[in-house]
Amino acid sequence: MGSLKLPFSLQRRRGKFVLPFSASRFHTPFATGNADYRGFDVQTLALVDPCKLSYRSSYGKRYRLFNARASAQPLTEKLVGDERLNLSTSGDSIRRRFLEFYAARGHSVLPSSSLVPEDPTVLLTIAGMLQFKPIFLGKVPREIPRAATSQRCIRTNDVENVGRTSRHQTFFEMLGNFSFGDYFKQEAIKWAWELSTIEFGLPADRLWISVYEDDDEAFAIWHDEIGIPAHRIKRLGEDDNFWSSGPTGPCGPCSEIYYDFHPERGHSDVDLGDDSRFIEFYNLVFMKYNRKDDGSLEPLKQKNIDTGLGLERIARILQQVPNNYETDLIFPIIKKASKLANVSYALADKPAKTNLKIIGDHMRAIVYLISDGVFPSNIGRGYVVRRLIRRAVRTGRLLGIKGDGKGNLEGAFLPILAKEVINLSTNIDPDVKTRASRILEELKREELRFVMTLERGEKLLEQMLTDALSTAQMNGSIPCLSGKDTFLLYDTYGFPVEITKEVADEHGVGIDMDGFDIEMENQRRQSQAAHNTVKLSVENGAELTENIPDTEFLGYDTLSTIAVVEGLLVNGKPVGEVSAGNEVEVLLDRTPFYAESGGQIGDHGFLYIAESENHKEALVEIKDVQKSLGNIFVHKGTVKEGVIGIGREVEAAVDANLRQRAKVHHTATHLLQAALKKVIGQETSQAGSLVAFDRLRFDFNFNRPLRENEIMEIERLINQWIGDATLLETKVMPLTDAKKAGAIAMFGEKYGEQVRVVEVPSVSMELCGGTHVSNTSEIRGFKIISEQGIASGIRRIEAVAGEAFIEYVCTRDNYMKQLCSTLKVNAEDVMTRVNNLLKDLREARNEVSAARAKAAIYKASSIISKAFTVGSSSKIRVLVESMDDIDADALKSAAEYLVNTLQDPVAVVLGSCPNGKRVSLIAAFSPGVVDLGVQAGKFIGPIAKL
């Protein structure tokens, strides 16, 4: 690959610039002499000024080669695997060139959004368009007409194909250019072609196009204006070339660009779905319709463009490697994994290469998910990252990686690979490096925990194989492990099916692979349904909210105001007025009510309408306020009196007492985060919060329970800051200035160019739109009421402050007084009295247990005569009896007595049903029986199941 040059990478020769290829080697979109293209031979461009390089098409349009100056820069190389990579085709360079290309065409370059979307209908960010969903829906007015992004994405619906095909990935970057009612098909197609053939220099005769079967307009643009021959434009049906995110919502036809790796195969009977020949790398969606509930299509008010160019796919093409995994975006991770496994990737067999690709892919997904605040758990997003970690661990074990791969068998290898991902993250997400220590800690803990799970899986497999052999022996059938059991080992315990099969073969047990495949397919269908749909729908109130401006929030400065009713909703449908007794959602032009956001719940209060000549007095009790798309406040409540109608003036009044409680708890939350960072380390960060009227809840990243002395120190610090009576400072400033000043941003929140900063001087500074006290002394007091783990690496603190703190202390004091009265001691003597009572209780229980054991032994002595002998050569005395209502501990004592009393070899099996509720079974075998290969546990296990 050292000789690879882009077609438009210019080199200086004797003071002039020349194209680094001959006309006979490459066919370009403007450099052919055949009927396929309109243009002229490349040789006429042999000597040119790089700043003036251009061409004229046969239809009279002149196009500037926007990257000519950049392409004239000297080329450098870096090593990727065993090849040399031209830096102009590196993944970082491709990303930069794409964004610069569209920036030069008036697109605002926007940052990638988090992998955790704001949209509650989507589990993870699966497409570049997701952050623009409100604009596509017409619910948020566009601030810019066109944009370009490089979006981090996660898709796990095809996780089983990762490593087995050349293109499937769980983590990928989607380069995209978007138009919001600005340009449409002609510009989107023209620029996609220029980017592909001029900026990236792809040979034009290797590019094929697909269009929607009825899209004559797109076909004409590709054929008549761009000059693509008709035989290389394929019309495909709705399944392939009509994009929709779900059953309803914005949709439209699309057009895709494919790269042909094997043009020598000709033009007849071409299948663009043939992965061995083609790869689709650029998708242009012409979003022009809204699909309604009945399936019909109606034109959108504005036509949009949504495109996606897979970075890993275009890198594969430009870097001339056989698959996405061997690009410089992923291969360094594979190379590190190869070293840990002591395997040469170049010499590895197909299964080993597949496993290395799986690790290379999964490690990127894992690192970026954890960086974005997704920690392993058994539900939702946490399950996705846990599953990927487990697949990576078991795949590493299949490759032979033991421990950390460096000789420490008690260590972990995922953190070593994660460091490689972090090194590659600079131009993808610079925040990853600042979160590195947290990522590595979480990976180490999760891997070591899973290794223990794998070991439990091995024990379960052993039991399953024993059961399969026993069942086959009883039924006279061939022993076989069921597909359901095999899938349980695979899915729950992360046990590779290959290892299950290998171990089963050693025991002479087969595996029902058809059953396993059925279970796998069921899970895959569920995964596709859960993870691969972006739900876009134009809701009932969309037309209503489109005509209503954003609500003006006055709640920082006042708790009451006069406002005008702009809209009313009942059961989600717009109405003109609402009478007493009905639930209602009220939209106002201005409001003092805080809408739920940033963890703080919405205000409560009332809307009043004074009695006038034509209208009776009305009263609406507000119990919740939510913020809709477009920053419209939705006041949810009940009409208690009268009638409320659109256009009426109301007095909106917030419940001052409840607002104060919320303010106290919100400021206390800021102090809590500052105290946590001071006591347990700056690396800890917020993972969620709730600011309510009666308490606060704060979730944070930490890998162990807080010690009692740490909790006390946190409380001491916060109460000290409260006592300092510090005035809070609130400022609005540019986001960049706030970050430079050290303000903490809340994970998952989106911030505009101007942000609100809440500072407790010398203690805390956070970006926050919530309501706060003006002086820390208003908090009065702070108390942690619980600290617990809620997920792997996530802890939760619940606490009270202000009025809730006073109520909590008074309630606890009342409980203590009642306890002192019951125990007849002073408060300081309660612990001594309780310990003495517990000691007395333990002694009484031991006496009862001893008495029950004596009774059981006495009863056992009366059944010794019931023992019988089995076997011919080696006679074994056997006793099987029910002992009625003897409890489990006493039953054990009876069994031990009988084994010791009867002569070895002896086998005793006893059962009982104390209180008629639960059956207890126990088997006790003497050494002589155990020596014959019969173990009590394995004997009684299947019986207990029955």
Q: Is residue 510 predicted with pLDDT exceeding 70?
A: yes
Q: Is residue 516 predicted with pLDDT exceeding 60?
A: yes
Contact 583, 544 (CB under 8 A): no
Contact 877, 902 (CB under 8 A): yes
Q: Which residue has the higher pLDDT, 454 or 847?
A: 847
At residue 38, the pLDDT reads: 26
Bond prior to 905 in cis (omega within 30° of 0): yes
Tens digits of per-residue pLDDT, 246-289?
677 788 999 999 999 999 999 888 999 998 999 999 999 999 98
The pLDDT of 650-671, averaged and rounded, is: 97
Locate the domains of the chain by residue range.
91-324, 331-528, 552-654, 659-812, 862-944
Which of 427, 428, 430, 404 has its CA nearest to residue 416? 404
Tell me the C-alpha distance between 212 and 240, whole Å.
8
At residue 376, the pLDDT reads: 85
The pairing of beta strand 207-212 with beta strand 233-236: parallel
The pLDDT of 666-675, averaged and rounded, is: 97
End-to-end CA distance of the chain: 66
Q: Tell me if 772 is assigned to a ligand binding site.
A: yes
Question: Class of the 552-654 domain?
Answer: mainly beta
Tell me the C-alpha distance between 154 and 151, whole Å.
10
> Residue 858's pLDDT band (boundaries 50, 70, 90)?
confident
> Residue 808's pLDDT band (boundaries 50, 70, 90)?
very high
The pLDDT of 410-432, averaged and rounded, is: 93
Instruction: Please give the structure tokens belonging to residue 433.
Output: 């490096």
Single pTM value for the model: 0.62
Q: Which residue has the higher pLDDT, 826 or 884?
A: 826
The pLDDT of 457-466, averaged and rounded, is: 86
Got the DSSP string for 577-593?
EEETT-EEEEEESEESP
At residue 137, the pLDDT reads: 74
Q: Which residue has the higher pLDDT, 109 or 38?
A: 109
Tell me the C-alpha distance between 303 and 253, whole Å.
12
Tens digits of per-residue pLDDT, 574-596?
999 999 999 999 999 999 999 99
Q: Topology of domain 659-812, per CATH?
A: Threonyl-tRNA Synthetase; Chain A, domain 2 (3.30.980)
At residue 548, the pLDDT reads: 78
The rounded Cα 749 to chain-centroid distance in angstroms is 15
Tens digits of per-residue pLDDT, 609-640?
877 665 668 999 999 999 886 689 999 999 99
At residue 14, the pLDDT reads: 30
At residue 862, the pLDDT reads: 79
Residue showing tokens 């087969």: 510
Q: Which residue has the higher pLDDT, 535 or 168?
A: 168
Q: Is residue 726 predicted with pLDDT exceeding 90?
A: yes
| Residues above pLDDT 90, as percent of the chain | 49
Which of 623, 618, 666, 621 has its CA nearest to residue 644? 618
Contact 287, 157 (CB under 8 A): no
Q: Is residue 41 predicted with pLDDT exceeding 60?
A: no
The pLDDT of 368-375, averaged and rounded, is: 90
Least confident stretch, 306-320, 610-624, 635-649, 727-741: 610-624
| Residues above pLDDT 70, as percent of the chain | 86
At residue 612, the pLDDT reads: 65
Q: Is residue 235 predicted with pLDDT exceeding 90?
A: yes
Instruction: Please give the structure tokens belonging to residue 188.
Output: 């989107």
At residue 35, the pLDDT reads: 31
The rounded Cα 190 to chain-centroid distance in angstroms is 36
At residue 246, the pLDDT reads: 65
Mean pLDDT of the chain: 83
Backbone phi, psi, residue 71, to 5°: -70, -20
> Residue 70's pLDDT band (boundaries 50, 70, 90)?
very low
User: In what side-by-side order are the strands of the sheet with 920-925?
Assistant: 868-870, 876-882, 906-912, 920-925
Q: Is residue 224 predicted with pLDDT exceeding 60?
A: yes
Tens digits of per-residue pLDDT, 9-20?
333 333 333 332
The rounded Cα 112 to chain-centroid distance in angstroms is 15
The two domains 91-324 and 659-812 share their CATH topology (first three levels equal) = no
Tell me the C-alpha distance between 602 and 169, whole Å.
41
Question: Class of the 91-324 domain?
Answer: alpha beta
> Residue 538's pLDDT band (boundaries 50, 70, 90)?
very low
> Residue 324's pLDDT band (boundaries 50, 70, 90)?
very high
Contact 323, 167 (CB under 8 A): yes
At residue 219, the pLDDT reads: 97
> Residue 746's pLDDT band (boundaries 50, 70, 90)?
low
Tell me the C-alpha distance between 813 and 442, whole Å.
40
Q: Tell me if 768 is assigned to a ligand binding site.
A: yes
Got the DSSP string for 862-918?
TTGGG-EEE-SSS-EEEEEEE-TT--HHHHHHHHHHHHHHSPSSEEEEEEE-GGGT-
Q: Which residues contact 903 (CB under 8 A, 6 or more apart)?
A: 877
